[in-house]
Amino acid sequence: MHTVVVGTSGTTAEDVVAVARGGARVEVAEEALAAVGAARRVIDDLAAKPEPVYGVSTGFGALAVRHISPELRAQLQRNIVRSHAAGMGPRVEREVVRALMFLRLKTLASGHTGVRPVVVETMAALLNAGITPVVHEYGSLGCSGDLAPLSHCALALMGEGEAEGPDGGLRPAAELLAAHGIEPVELREKEGLALLNGTDGMLGMLVMACADLARLYTVADVTAALSLEALLGTDRVLAPELHAIRPHPGQAASADNMVRVLAGSGLTGHHQDDAPRVQDAYSIRCAPQVAGAGRDTLAHARLVADRELASAVDNPVVLADGRVESNGNFHGAPVAYVLDFLAVAAADLASIAERRTDRLLDKNRSHGLPPFLAGDPGVDSGLMIAQYTQAALVSELKRLAVPASVDSIPSSAMQEDHVSMGWSAARKLRTVVDNLTRVLAIELVAAARAVELREGLVPAPATRAVLAAVRRAGVEGPGGDRYLAPDLAAAEAFVRSGGLAEAVESVTGPLA
């Protein structure tokens, strides 16, 4: 099994996905354990002094004015975890919790948080044992960290609360730890706070969304190319010299993908005698511009994610010169903004895909295709309601594109008076990614059927590879009406699995 080694200097997006989704083992480097130990000695020295230090010998948030005596400090750290583990609602997905735990481990291993090595080692042990704490949907405002979600993870580290075992069953965390020979952690000064104070949940979801959207932008270029082909559109608008004079890199990449998918097509731009067109509709002609803008948004989001992955987010932090300083680095604004940006771009990508589908189904705009691509129009409804489903998804995506990060609700007696709502932005982005997958799957179903209805015309070799693969995946071709939901589900699974990209790239080579 793949092993991810955690050092003092951050991690990569690929490592996050490997641990969260691939179950990769985690190993903490010796140099990281040494740095953790050195930072802990600084905290121990401060704890022995009479002066109050936030998170070490004081309360938290608006209660930071109280100095906590040494005999109550262990209780203080336990209490912050227990009281902050106040999430509600449905359970968060296993991959999200694993990403959250791994990213908190990454920061703990940086040597800037002041926890003991045993805390770091125990967190790694939980990940490697496949123990996933129960984390709930609601509880984070995206400032002072993803507090409630991280608290539920810290609770399991203490041997409290519930967790999911490697077999998927829910059991008390204490039982799972005992079954895997893991000793619960008795928290000491600063450690409860250090386990809670990070952007790890929203960051983990951002990293995974970026991976998913990178795949979906390639899918969107393919489905747009198939729709252009099915509508007998022109590929001249994809010429590289046209995109070079508006040098957005994402636009050029999308146009190039479409050119490569359409290479060798017998449908594009040569069969318009019945209804000559000077220009194709925007949803066809501007496909690279819209998808390309989304690609550039994704590139910016990845830049922000990489910076955050290189960060050590906690408050207070132990600096290299031994100072322990309070700060505001836990604020989730940088992550929240790009989570919202991605939702906007994805919603618009879905919107233009739906417009292409609608055009394929409308006999007045499809240039010779049967109404709704039906076998016997009137007796058959064809893909009429598939487009309704697609439209409903797009409408939902537009609502989900409303940014969470512009909202803020004060908390902690106005001490935390401006929050990022980054966790909320991340949660809705996950729904956006799922719905975009479905929208593109429906365009694929419609475009594939439409190409096949162009009898006597030979589609591009890449298109033929897609048609063969999508039929093998369980999506039936043209014909009379049938129970349609299984076809759509099969198309969604085909897109989600990477099967569409694999089929195309067997002809074109790797696409952007």
Backbone angles phi, psi at 437, to 5 degrees: -55, -45
Task: Give the per-residue pLDDT at 270.
Answer: 67
Check if the beta carbon of residue 123 is closer than 8 Å to that of residue 104.
yes
- What is the amino acid identity at position 210? C
Task: Give the per-residue pLDDT at 48.
Answer: 86
Q: Tell me which of 54, 282, 388, 483 is the catalytic residue.
A: 54
Backbone angles phi, psi at 4, to 5 degrees: -105, 125
> Percentage of the chain with pLDDT > 90?
88
Task: Give the per-residue pLDDT at 508.
Answer: 98
Query: How crowded is the C-beta side of 370, counted as CA atoms within 13 Å?
Result: 20
pTM (2 decimals)?
Answer: 0.96
Is 217 catalytic? The answer is no
What angle do the packed helices 200-230 and 94-108 form, to 10 degrees?
Answer: 130
Query: How crowded is the C-beta side of 160, counted as CA atoms within 13 Å?
Result: 14
d(CA 509, CA 487): 27
d(CA 353, CA 350): 5
d(CA 143, CA 63): 17
d(CA 475, CA 496): 14
Query: How crowded is the C-beta side of 158, counted as CA atoms within 13 Å?
Result: 23
- What is the amino acid identity at position 376? D
Check if the beta carbon of residue 61 is closer than 8 Å to that of residue 415.
yes
Task: Give the per-residue pLDDT at 275.
Answer: 61
Which residue, among 30, 131, 146, has the nearest Cα to 84 in the 3D structure? Answer: 146
Which residues of the chain have a pLDDT value below 70? 60-62, 65, 270-276
DSSP H helical segments within 231-332, as ranges?
A: 240-244, 249-262, 282-285, 287-309
